[in-house]
Structure 1
Amino acid sequence: MLTGALLILAPLFLGFALSLKNRRLMTAIHYSVEALVYFILALLGFGLGQMEGLTSQLGTMAGQMTALVVVLFVANMTGLWLLHRWKPMSPEPRDTDSAGAGYVRLFMAALKPLIAVLAGVLSGYFLLPKLPQAEQLATWSLMLLLFLIGLQLRNAGLSLRKLLMNTQGLGIAVVLVLSSLLAGVLLIPVLGLPWHDVLALASGFGWYSLSGIVIGEALGPAWGGVAFLNDVLREIIALAIIPLVIGSRPAMAIGYGGATSMDFTLPVIRSNGGLSCVPVAIASGFLLSFLSPVFMGVFLSLG
């Protein structure tokens, strides 16, 4: 398992080590990443669709996913509330003209990952025969995705030193990690898995395309589906609560978005919290995007 974890993490670090200047190439990488994400999610759904006894396990999966979502939500929001009390942020006044302009579009876009997985499930269950190479294809696709994401992180014009010096963003990332691991500890007797596997489940930090396929390969398609739904629901919940709490408690709004704070939920953070929230969101999202595969790889390697 340790070798597999290192093989998964190696492309991320390799991509992060390379510096690119060609804008056209970076644009092509951006679209390739988007296509790979939906392809990997469809493969995840395909594996779920071909899982024996899928219909009989749906109730169990729903209970496991609900436990993850609820316990992580309470732990994360409590930790971020304490951070806000200790080191409060003061966002700019809300931009009411643009706050709701693209909100519905973003919320609907958050449903696309669910559609990709559902398409895979239906294809695997009703249409396509069992593909013996599907798991290997998913692994290689994930490794390519991590390599491209490493390139994106390195060449996004962000200095790792400056991100680490953003104490508010760093604090949010640290609190989210620690509160997620605490939630994982509390969930060990509930989920009935070894402690390291539960902590791996709690370490997705909102990166659904990564957590779903990594957990699915290590623990089976059912747990991969639970990990995916847990993290995609984090994104959807974040879109709903950011406009409600960012005015009074910015750390809670930014932090709960997890890894998505540097990309998908960033426009909602910007429009509702102002420009002062943007560097904090990028710093916390970047650090969580980097830490998620590391934590999952390390915990899964202990099995």
Structure 2
Amino acid sequence: MEGEIMSETTVISEQSILVDVKDTYHVITLNRPDKLNSFNDEMHRALYAALEAADADVNCRAILLTAAGKGFCAGQDLGDRVKPTPGSPPPDLTQTIGDFYNPLIRKLKSINMPIVCAVNGVAAGAGANIAMACDIVIASEKAKFIQAFAKIGLVPDSGGTYFLPRLVGSARARGLAMLGTPITAAQAEEWGMIWKCSSAETFLDEATAMVQELSVGPTIGLGLIKQALNASEGNTLDEQLDLERDYQGEAGRTPDYLEGVTAFMEKRAPKYSGKR
């Protein structure tokens, strides 16, 4: 049932994706550690279903995306594809992108609540770009980010050519995309690719604490912030000013705005409902 709270971890689609439903947020875990959590079709479907379930849960106000094992995600499971051979027709990679990766990135960007990504290890190819599609990324100091596409003659997908220049600038984006040079989590933080690099022992606790905080925050306002930032990447200044005006009006009509101001005046911690 919509909004129902489950007391135990829910396993979706033969454990390629694990979902742990908390009172106010969902934890979604990529769970193919023996394959460095690389994607096959089944895992794509399971992750998309998990995101849709979180989006539909009226009690869910934030999402934590993480992964099992030593790596976060190695991108596409190349063993799941028919290998090209000399003289055979080339594979149609547009189908995988159109059917799976593009809808996944659009879903991550459109879900109207904060999504925190906890990167535990290597994030390569689409795995790196899926992380960048989330709202806030906290990475273990052991993590690395690799635009591995050029190493096998491909082009960055899953939004890589969109996110990289906006996060790290054109020169660095071109170097990362064309050379496929791995960068550490510390360097990714320095370049503005991620929010924070933390110790391997604490990064997941930090990410969980952040999601817990966000999940009891002013949910409508946080969703409007996400929408505004997403829109700013294509808007002119005038368009963005008008959007801010409209979103501020919407946020100002929520019970959470009244609660936030009242709590401030009464010098107490606010108790946000996340409701309209």
Q: TM-score range by the shorter chain?
A: under 0.3
TM normalised by structure 2 equals: 0.23
Q: Which has the larger radius of gyration?
A: 2
Instruction: Give the number of the structure whose residues are more often helix, by fraction.
Output: 1
TM normalised by structure 1 equals: 0.22
Larger RCO: Structure 1 or Structure 2 (Cα < 8 Å, ≥ 6 residues apart)? Answer: 1
